[in-house]
Amino acid sequence: MRFRNRAAAWWIQLKTTRACLGKPKIMSWDKLKSKLKKTFLPYNYDQLMFQRLHHIRQGSRSVAEYSQEFFLLLTRVDIQDSELQLALTIESQTKSNYSWSASRTTRPTQHQQSTNLTDDSLPQQAETALVPVTDKKVTRTSSLRCFACGEIGHRQANCPKRNRRGLLLDAAGNDVEVIYDEEITETLEETEDLVADTGPCLMMRRVCLAPRHIDDNPQRHNLLHSKCTIAGKVCKFIIDSESSENVVAEDVVNKLNLTTEIHLYPYKLAWLDKKTDLTITRRTLISYSVGGTFQDQIYCDIAPMDACHLLLGRPWLFDHRVKHDSYRNTYSFRFNDKNFTLQPSLPEKQ
């Protein structure tokens, strides 16, 4: 199922809001259906559908069109003889009976018309005119009972004590306020900013081209560059969402004497063109830390690399469900019930 137009925008906003609040994703159909009803359907939707079903008329439409609308309303109403539906049925029947009785009292019968035509005496005409119509009308009006306040003399639609239309009625006919299950709002914890580690680097990056000028916004053209600690040594790392694997430099593995193992699924790695591809056959488990508070372990493929010591790609972003702020060039994620934000380092002057 796919959402379109306004529903698609609402669905994206709902997922973003729940993700910012740290709430789980909506995985059940009942949960999604309740959110859709609460957003797009009016509060008195069931009452409106039930009234449309009882007041449907064919009019100038064909039998096929009338049948189609009838069965559609029948499916939406889902008649179960609830208290609301019984109350609406009684109210509609009371309205129809009152209109029918009022029309009967105002129309003379055929016997009265023939009597008025044959008799010319004025007293008899006066007697036919003094029919107690007013008494009958008063009796019918007083028999009306409001389903909102329970008083006699007016309908529910004209109730002076009714300020809004409800969906449910209790045994006394009063409105029952609908109480929805409120979601538990989680308290937002403070987010800890992770800055680059300080200290002598394990090795320096080879510089091929020097920058031509100083950019006012250095993060506009750069990936996230920062520093971490691996086996007690400060190393540079880069986060690149376009990299399909996590990669560690071969020199880091050799200098730190890291334990390696055979790659389960060897593959060829092409940096710039297909002619200079490289076969990746080994990997290693790296324990690293950033800022002293964030510590993690990841499997990285071993490859000759001099741009950085550690390259974090799509696997690392996917496993930690990282959110990227493209303007500040920061990466935010939640790890071990704590919120972290990786801050970029300024480009070093070579």
Residue 341 predicted with pLDDT over 70: yes
Residue of higher predicted confidence among 149 and 309: 309
Give the mean pLDDT of 114-141: 48
CB atoms within 10 A of CB 50: 22
**Per-residue pLDDT reduced to its tens digit, 301-325:** 999 888 889 999 999 999 999 999 9
pLDDT at site 282 = 92
Q: Confidence class of residue 164 from pLDDT cuts 50, 70 and 90?
A: low
pLDDT at 16 exceeding the cut of 80: yes
Mean pLDDT of 210-215: 58
Q: How far is CA 45 from CA 52, 73, 205, in A?
A: 11, 12, 66
CA distance linking residue 238 with residue 223, whole number of Å: 7
Most confident of 54-63, 135-144, 273-282, 309-318: 309-318
Q: Which pLDDT value is given to residue 235?
A: 92
pTM exceeds 0.85, yes or no: no
Evaluate if residue 337 carries a pLDDT over 80. yes
Name the one residue in this structure whose structure tokens are 């320096």. Answer: 204
Backbone angles phi, psi at 227, to 5 degrees: -130, 145
Using a pLDDT cut of 70, give the percent of the chain over it.
66
What average pLDDT is seen over the chain? 75
CA gap 212, 248 in Å, rounded? 29
Domain boundaries, the chain: 5-89, 194-206+221-342
Write down the CATH number for the domain with range 194-206+221-342.
2.40.70.10
Answer yes or no: are the C-beta atoms of 255 and 201 closer than 8 Å. no
Q: Is 235 helix (H, G, I), strand (E, B) or coil?
A: strand
In the block, tokens 């039998």 appear at 63
Residues in the chain: 350
Q: Tokens representing 323?
A: 């959110």
Among 75-89, 110-124, 283-297, 322-336, which is the least confidently predicted range?
A: 110-124
Please give the pLDDT value at position 151: 82
- Give 344's Cβ-side CA count (13 Å radius): 23
pLDDT band of 105, cuts 50, 70, 90: low
Are 60 and 183 in contact by the 8 Å Cβ rule? The answer is no
